[in-house]
Amino acid sequence: MSIWNAGPSANYDAEQIARTSVFIKIQPRDNWKNPINAWIDESDFADCNQAAIWFTGAGLTVIARNGEKLHVTAPGYYLTIGA
């Protein structure tokens, strides 16, 4: 085993990849750090919420429901850190 593939950074990298594949569903198209405003499947809420927290520091808020679709928002990275 290579030292470059072991230890805490390997766990971080795996987590980053997993969260990125979910965050793509909700990230703003112009800049991922902007406020989030998206429609997602209800079944994806928990994973999307965790991804939003991972990348922006803020969780999702459900503002509307249409069947099994949820309209979610979040302040995004810039607003969460006070930029």
**pTM attached to this predicted model:** 0.84
Q: What stretches in the chain show pLDDT beneath 50? A: 1-3
Domain that holds residue 34: 3-81
Residue 83 has a pLDDT of 84
Domain count across the chain: 1
Per-residue CA distances from 32 to 24, 25, 69, 75, 82 (Å): 9, 11, 22, 11, 16
